[in-house]
Chain A
């Protein structure tokens, strides 16, 4: 069963506007982390932000914030003030904590391709 769902294969946003990339997840494990990675056209995987399941506040890293709604099992990435350099593939991923039958593997969604228009 798919554990990470990204429903937006592609999105467009105007430069300097904010954009939200959707991610829903499925787990019954109370201990997990949610991650967002950026993959530009050059191909490398760049870690952006993470949220732990026990964290009370939404994570923020510069222009990136993670809108974590635990009851809805969603972990949307918000990029404020989009820049041309934000054009890339964005992957949501989940990692369950090692132990209790889990090996702590990182499971990815299929990604969203974001294009920023000037």
Chain B
């Protein structure tokens, strides 16, 4: 049981390049999400998915695309990298927390990807 995995761990891009950050989980979680972390800003939600084939925007979605073709994978695509996208990116997953359930569902995080855009 690997939990949440992310690749790569570190990436340097030039402005205008595109790339995909990979995220996978083996816990059969419905809910997956991407966050970016910048100094003094905490973690901000980029995109999320409540199940395969269903995605939606979070707080800071501009410049990023996602898709969810399987339960396990939730890749994040940078279409045309900009220096403002220099950040640490975290993927997270959890069971979908139904408000009518009694138990709160915890989100589990991947190790993060450090991205530098020059």
Interface residue ranges, A against B (CB under 8 Å) = 9, 31, 33, 35, 37, 43-45, 47, 50, 52, 54, 91, 93, 95-100, 102-111
Contact = CB atoms under 8 A, between A and B. Distances in A.
A43 B88 contact: yes
Interface residues of B, number: 33
Nearest to B90: A45
A106 B88 contact: no
Most buried by B among A9, A35, A111: A111
A93 B37 CA distance: 14
B26 interface: no
A109 B90 CA distance: 16
A102 B111 contact: no
Given A43-B112, A47-B108, A103 B102 contact: no
Given A104-B50, A106-B92, A95 B43 contact: no
Given A97-B99, A111-B42, A105 B58 contact: yes
26 contacts: A31-B99, A33-B104, A33-B105, A35-B107, A43-B112, A44-B109, A44-B111, A45-B109, A47-B107, A47-B108, A52-B103, A52-B104, A96-B99, A97-B99, A97-B100, A98-B50, A98-B97, A98-B99, A99-B98, A104-B50, A104-B96, A104-B105, A105-B48, A110-B40, A110-B42, A111-B42
Given A50-B104, A95-B104, A99-B99, A107 B45 contact: yes
Interface in B34-53: 35, 40-45, 48, 50
B110 to A, nearest CB: 9
Contacts of A31: 99
Contacts of B108: 47
Given A35-B106, A105-B45, 10 more contacts: A43-B88, A50-B106, A52-B102, A52-B103, A103-B48, A103-B50, A104-B97, A106-B92, A108-B44, A109-B42
A54 B103 CA distance: 10
